[in-house]
Structure 1
Amino acid sequence: MESYGIISLLPPLLAIILAWWSKQVVLSLFLGVFAGALITNAYNPLFAFMHTLDDYILASLADSWNAGIILFLLAMGGMIGIINKSGGIIAIGEYVAKKANSVVKTQFAAWLMGVLIFFDDYANTLIVGNTMRPITDKMKISREKLAFIVDLTAAAVSSIVPISTWIAFEVGVIKDGFDSLGLEMNAYGTFVQTIPYRFYSIFALGFALIIIFTAKDYGPMLKAEKRARSTGETLRPGSTPMVSQEMEEIEQPEGESFTFANSFLPIIGVILVTLIGLWYNGGGLEAGTSIRDAFGNADASIVLLWAAISGSFIAGILSFAKGILNISETVDGWIDGAKSMFIACLILVLAWSIGSITEDLGTANYLVSILEGNIIPEIVPLMIFIFSAFIAFTIGSSWGTVAIVMPLAIPLANSIGIPMLPTIAAVLTASVMGDHCSPISDTTIMSSTASAVDHMDHVSTQMPYALTVGLVAALFGFLPAGFGFSAVYLLPLGLVVLYLIVSIIGKKADEVI
């Protein structure tokens, strides 16, 4: 492959700098692709523009795998739209909220809702914040604490479960990285194998539980909780809470609506169709094919599309059969949900495009030539984690970060000979960490909005917690993982370290009043 030398770094660096400066990830990624096309087309802007559209953007959509992933995203969004329009979103929240009758149980209910609504981080954020806010106010729990639980669980869960709106994006980017190297590796199987190495995401979920059940806090969050308990002021005096306009779209339909059980039937259908479909598509009916081999051989883009469409049909038929929605309303709900996936689809297409342009420029080859012999290979997962977290913080987008870094991380890991799984996981989970710390992150803003708290109050109280989890993930996760230590040992070690940190420096709000 031809390498353009140091100039091959321009497209990804331009995307990073522009995203940081403009906060517009889609435009920044497009200009990154255009810059690469400019280089490969002798700096002719007209040819570069045309080839950006046809050789990269259109070509990425022409691939059957990519097309299947895009359709999966739209269908999943459509299914969620029908569930929402049928009152299922509210039904889920009300069921869980009934179990909350103490400070600890109320916070745990919010955490549990965040885990149960695993299929989409946006839906997660809006549902949990809006549903739990009146209950946390009643229990004198600060809005800052609610926003923390809402924000921490949303992306952490959606990014690691094998069934969510995230999986299409993550599997798609992983496959693109493998294809650029000519590797015959199963992207979906690799995604599943990276889950134990998502140290930040897993530690974040465990850390939230530690904070909840020890009833201890520290830093600005302790001050917020002390205020709420002692004065009943769940908001800081003088603060400007975010107004949740999006929540007005989550309304109870007139008459009968989905129950808690109804709401999860389409989701259960998606899970079952995915599992059975992976087995069938991967040759499960053939003699001598194990379940593991079948899952590894399956075309996940096709199976996920089967599952999402099946879930949409289940949700639609159920809402129509119960008399909640007529056919027109059901279709409208599906279309509204699919529309919500437009930006996700656009980012994914541009992610594939920037991956293709860095391949044509030989960016990974150039980086490898610089790094080989100049760094300790074993610390690359740690470096990738820190670098990706910084990018996510500066641009405020998990998906934008993955789109920028993954096309470089996979070839680098393959060429230097470092463990592939923790390297891929480092990109995926660091993007979540940077998102948690960034004041310009969409999910951070939505968490403030859904929880009706001052945005910067949310950022300032959550950041110390996210940095704590990130530090533990770096030192007790990715650093030893780069030297070959298994996640089986590192996960419990990291959770123990987090528990000790909270126990030593944390204090109960009731005790410091």
Structure 2
Amino acid sequence: MARLFFLIFGLLFLSNGVFAQCELNNVTNKEKVKIEWPGFIIQDIPSSIKIVSGATNDSLQIKYPSGEWQQVVGSNGTYDVSFSQTGTYEIKIKGETYRKHLRVMPLWYSILPPLIAILFAMLFKEVLTALLIGLLSGTVAIAWYSGDSHFATAFITGFFDIIDNRVIHTIANTGHASVIVFSLMIGAVVQIIRNNGGMHGLVQRLARKVSTQRKGMFFTWLMGILIFFDDYANTLVVGNTVRPITDRLKISREKLAYIVDSTAAPVACLAFVTTWIGVELSYIQEGLNQLSTDISPYQLFLQSLPYRFYPFLALIFILFMIYQRRDFGPMYTAEVKAKKMDVNEEGINESADKDPQASHWLNAIIPVGIIVFGTFAGLIITGYDSVLWNNGDLSFIRKLSVTIGDSDAFKALLWSSMLAVLVAFIMSVTQKLLTLRQSSDAIIDGFRSMLSAIVILILAWSLASITQELHTAQFLAGMLSSLKSLPGLLPAITFILGALVAFSTGSSWGTMAILYPLLMPVTWKIGEMAGMPIQDINLLLAQMVSGILAGAVMGDHCSPISDTTILSSLASDCDHIDHVRTQMPYALIVGGVALFIGLIPLIWNVPLWVTYPVAIVILFFILKFFGKKVQ
């Protein structure tokens, strides 16, 4: 143990020295001028050189390794420079010359860290190690290209960068911290209502109505539709609430996770009143700022809704699966295994902890209802604008939609979950269902039940920060840029690109943030070059916007590093890799139908009243002919 302690201490000391050396190497300081060089360079991605002190708007001269001098004009001490080759760069400013040897990382490397994580997760069926390896491949590469001359020092630097930089900054992010605390609170609520018998009472009451597998799956789907305003709340509330019922009916955890995951984001991206709309409109606005069009972000959003084939078809596909009770691939195997499992009289798998004696079902439904309706109320409160609501020219739905879009979703989630914990705690103690100590222990146990999934979530977010820093999305966009010559093909291309970016980064919101401002000007330029009228270009923009969003949702459903996919596994108490393996074939089939039957026919302006019925019929018969009933 002592040797291990001194080894760790020595590595920390060495790494701190490496960090300090890297920091000094990135800053050149002569007299009054202090230059901050970029830490590392990605090929063909513009970087900035900053004059930290002695800031000036004067032009500077930069000498490239090829021997060419180029004059660069800056603003407020920042000079944007395009680096393309490894070598020594020289800067001449105010009569002084500064030199720095820089290494250029090839842009194609940006795809490797997420790809390594995904491949390791699918190959070894263990996502925690896969994420760590993916992160390490990214941080070591950054350390190497930032100036570490030996692989050993780059490895040590990259290893410690995971914990003291990536993970810490991920947790420090307000949005991420809010999701972590909300997840902990949900775990606490579920554990309290389980220990006080409220969950058992709710299951017994629902068992009278939800008495078959078909009804159980439909009830899960319906819950996912009703909690439409936020995908995080949808995932955690539906999964945790319905799980005892689906266990009782011998519906596999994988099937539960699939229904939960494939209703959460699709519903949230289609409804008018969701936490998604404000974020999406801001990204669309960022893209529109670069265009000469009068269309508003909300008009473009409304115009894009009918072309979001994947979310619509995913919801319909689940209904077909429920009605036919057929499955194929890994999901069929999971259902067969669940069918053979023994279930105790309380409807919980024998391997699970037994519930206490049932109490009144209201002990469960009231805290859950507080989360659902409290979140909605919190969205209204945090987004309320008296000027908006006094505007008589706007409809009620438009006012409500704008209010939710401008709300603080994380604050609403935290308010409602904290209140739900408090109410569940008080109800348990006042009814003498649990003692004060037992209620407190239940909260801690609930926190503990969420810990493993939260660790995975933090690592997934950290890996997403690597992909953003390495410009993975730009690399993928460049791969498909050669296919953009046919305007009508753009919605299909952006669907594929959105899916690839979301699959690689694990974030549908991040995909929108990157691709909307990147591809909207490209779409506009292609429309102008094709001689299209403004109205048709606006329609093409709407189709492209829907393609990116629908592809992002599909990529999220297939990605083992997606936050909503991880939360779906967490809420359903399902092995995460098993959830990804069973969901991916269904997501790919629905995505394929959305692409080939929905988006590609837009090239020939095939109307929606033709494409939607054809796509729905194809999905129905795919299940009918390829699916098998579990005996």
The normalised TM-score by structure 2 is 0.56
List per-residue Cα deviations over 1:15-37 (Å, max 9, x = no partner).
Answer: 33333344334324432442453
Report 1:71-86 matches (<5 A). Answer: 71-86=181-196
Please say if residues 211 and 502 of structure 1, whose CA atoms lie closer than 8 Å, have aligned partners that are also in contact.
Answer: yes
1:78 Cα shift? 1.8
**Pair 252,35 (structure 1): closer, same or farther in 2 beyond 3 Å:** same
Please say if residues 341 and 349 of structure 2, whose CA atoms lie closer than 8 Å, have aligned partners that are also in contact.
Answer: no
Please say if residues 200 and 433 of structure 1, whose CA atoms lie closer than 8 Å, have aligned partners that are also in contact.
Answer: no
**Pair 444,64 (structure 1): closer, same or farther in 2 beyond 3 Å:** closer
Distance 1:307 1:156 in 2: 24
The answer for the alignment partner of 1:432 in structure 2 is: 557
**Pair 433,360 (structure 1): closer, same or farther in 2 beyond 3 Å:** closer
336-345 or 492-501: bigger deviation: 492-501
Distance 1:192 1:57 in 2: 38
Please say if residues 194 and 421 of structure 1, whose CA atoms lie closer than 8 Å, have aligned partners that are also in contact.
Answer: yes
Matched, 1:415 2:536: no
Matched, 1:276 2:373: no
Letter in 2 for 1:279: I
**Pair 150,62 (structure 1): closer, same or farther in 2 beyond 3 Å:** closer
Matched, 1:30 2:135: yes
**Pair 349,11 (structure 1): closer, same or farther in 2 beyond 3 Å:** same
Please say if residues 266 and 311 of structure 1, whose CA atoms lie closer than 8 Å, have aligned partners that are also in contact.
Answer: yes
The answer for the alignment partner of 1:498 in structure 2 is: 619
Matched, 1:320 2:429: yes
Letter in 2 for 1:111: F
Distance 2:359 2:235 in 1: 21
Distance 1:274 1:122 in 2: 17
**Pair 408,78 (structure 1): closer, same or farther in 2 beyond 3 Å:** same
1:486 Cα shift? 11
Please say if residues 242 and 449 of structure 1, whose CA atoms lie closer than 8 Å, have aligned partners that are also in contact.
Answer: no
Matched, 1:377 2:486: no
Query: Relative CO higher for 1 or 2, CA cutoff 8 Å, sep ≥ 6?
Result: 1
Q: Secondary structure at the match of 2:209?
A: coil
Report 1:60-139 matches (<5 A). Answer: 60-99=170-209, 106-113=213-220, 115-116=222-223, 118-120=234-236, 123=240, 126-133=243-250
Point out the structure with the larger strand share.
Answer: 2
Distance 1:242 1:191 in 2: 49
Distance 2:627 2:186 in 1: 42
**Pair 11,251 (structure 1): closer, same or farther in 2 beyond 3 Å:** same
**Pair 478,12 (structure 1): closer, same or farther in 2 beyond 3 Å:** farther
Distance 1:483 1:332 in 2: 63
Distance 2:447 2:606 in 1: 42
1:331 Cα shift? 2.1
1:131 Cα shift? 1.2
Report 1:158-177 matches (<5 A). Answer: 158-160=264-266
Q: Secondary structure at the match of 2:183?
A: helix
**Pair 374,253 (structure 1): closer, same or farther in 2 beyond 3 Å:** same
Matched, 1:303 2:412: yes
List per-residue Cα deviations over 1:117-157 (Å, max 9, x = no partner).
Answer: 85437536742432113xxxxxxxxx7xx677545423223
Distance 1:370 1:508 in 2: 39
**Structure with greater Cα Rg:** 2
1:66 Cα shift? 2.8
Q: Alignment RMSD, CA only? A: 5.2
Report 1:140-289 matches (<5 A). Answer: 150-160=256-266, 203-213=313-323, 215=324, 217=326, 248-254=351-357, 257-259=359-361, 261-285=362-386, 288=390
Distance 1:345 1:210 in 2: 33
Q: Using the aligned pairs only, state the percent identity.
A: 23
Distance 1:247 1:183 in 2: 56
1:487 Cα shift? 9.1
Please say if residues 367 and 412 of structure 1, whose CA atoms lie closer than 8 Å, have aligned partners that are also in contact.
Answer: no
**Pair 183,122 (structure 1): closer, same or farther in 2 beyond 3 Å:** farther
Q: Secondary structure at the match of 2:355?
A: coil
List per-residue Cα deviations over 1:180-203 (Å, max 9, x = no partner).
Answer: x9999xxxxx99999988755654
Please say if residues 111 and 149 of structure 1, whose CA atoms lie closer than 8 Å, have aligned partners that are also in contact.
Answer: no
Letter in 2 for 1:17: L
Q: Secondary structure at the match of 1:315?
A: helix
Letter in 2 for 1:428: V
Distance 1:348 1:56 in 2: 13
List per-residue Cα deviations over 1:450-491 (Å, max 9, x = no partner).
Answer: 9xxxx99xx89x987666544334334555689999999976
The answer for the alignment partner of 2:64 in structure 1 is: none
**Pair 116,291 (structure 1): closer, same or farther in 2 beyond 3 Å:** closer
Report 1:307-386 matches (<5 A). Answer: 307-375=416-484, 376-384=489-497
**Pair 72,160 (structure 1): closer, same or farther in 2 beyond 3 Å:** farther
Letter in 2 for 1:495: I
Please say if residues 10 and 36 of structure 1, whose CA atoms lie closer than 8 Å, have aligned partners that are also in contact.
Answer: no
Matched, 1:42 2:144: no
Q: Secondary structure at the match of 1:372?
A: helix
**Pair 304,471 (structure 1): closer, same or farther in 2 beyond 3 Å:** same
Letter in 2 for 1:498: L
1:96 Cα shift? 2.8
Please say if residues 313 and 594 of structure 2, whose CA atoms lie closer than 8 Å, have aligned partners that are also in contact.
Answer: yes
Please say if residues 557 and 584 of structure 2, whose CA atoms lie closer than 8 Å, have aligned partners that are also in contact.
Answer: no
1:384 Cα shift? 4.0
Structure 1: 5+ residue stretches without partners: 134-142, 185-189, 225-233, 392-400, 436-440
1:442 Cα shift? 11
The answer for the alignment partner of 2:162 in structure 1 is: 52
Please say if residues 378 and 412 of structure 2, whose CA atoms lie closer than 8 Å, have aligned partners that are also in contact.
Answer: yes
List per-residue Cα deviations over 1:343-396 (Å, max 9, x = no partner).
Answer: 33333333333333333333333443443344453223432476479x6xxxxx
Distance 2:329 2:342 in 1: 19
1:258 Cα shift? 3.9
Q: Secondary structure at the match of 1:333?
A: helix
From 461, 466, 471, give the equivalent of 2:592.
471
Letter in 2 for 1:291: L
Letter in 1 for 2:122: W
Please say if residues 93 and 113 of structure 1, whose CA atoms lie closer than 8 Å, have aligned partners that are also in contact.
Answer: no
The normalised TM-score by structure 1 is 0.67
The answer for the alignment partner of 1:19 in structure 2 is: 121
Q: Secondary structure at the match of 2:260?
A: helix
